[in-house]
Amino acid sequence: MSTDLSPAQWDEQFTRQASWTRQTRYHLYRRANLLRAARVLDVGSGTGVVTAELAAQTRGQVIGLDVDPEMVAYAREHYPQAEYRLGDAHHMDLPGGSFDVTACHFLLLWCRDPRQVAAEMVRVTRPGGSILICAEPDYGGRIDHPELPLGHWQIEALRDEGADPRLGRKLRALFAQPGAREVDVGVMPGVWDAARLRAEFEAEWALWQRTLEGRVLPAELARVRAADLAATESGERLVFLPVFYALVRT
**Length of the chain counted residue by residue:** 250
Domain count, the chain: 1
Is 2 within a domain? no
Is 89 within a domain? yes
Is 148 within a domain? no
- Full DSSP string of 162-190: T--TTGGGGHHHHT-STT--EEEEEEE--
**Residue among 248, 249, 243 at smallest CA distance from 105:** 243
Predicted pLDDT of residue 1: 53
Residue 45's CB: how many other CB atoms inside 10 A? 31
C-alpha span between 245 and 167 (Å, rounded): 11
Is 197 within a domain? no
Residue 69's CB: how many other CB atoms inside 10 A? 9
Residue 40 is part of which domain span? 7-140+162-191+241-249
CATH number of domain containing 71: 3.40.50.150
Predicted pLDDT of residue 207: 86
Q: Which amino acid is at 36?
A: R
C-alpha span between 110 and 45 (Å, rounded): 13
Is 185 within a domain? yes
Is 196 within a domain? no
Among 15-29, 57-71, 193-207, the least confident range: 193-207
Q: What is the pLDDT of residues 48-97, one digit of tens each?
A: 999 999 999 999 999 999 999 999 999 999 999 999 999 999 999 999 99
For residues 97 and 207, the answer to whether their CB atoms sit within 8 Å is: no
For residues 43 and 124, the answer to whether their CB atoms sit within 8 Å is: no
Does residue 2 carry a pLDDT above 80? no
For residues 163 and 110, the answer to whether their CB atoms sit within 8 Å is: yes
Report, as an integer, the average pLDDT of 137-157: 95
Is 226 within a domain? no
Does residue 198 carry a pLDDT above 60? yes
**Residue among 147, 146, 136, 145 at smallest CA distance from 170:** 136
CA dist 64 → 3, 30, 76, 142, 173 (Å) = 20, 20, 10, 31, 25
C-alpha span between 37 and 212 (Å, rounded): 42
74 phi and psi angles, rounded to 5 deg? -65, -45
C-alpha span between 53 and 60 (Å, rounded): 13
The structure's pTM equals 0.93
Is 29 within a domain? yes
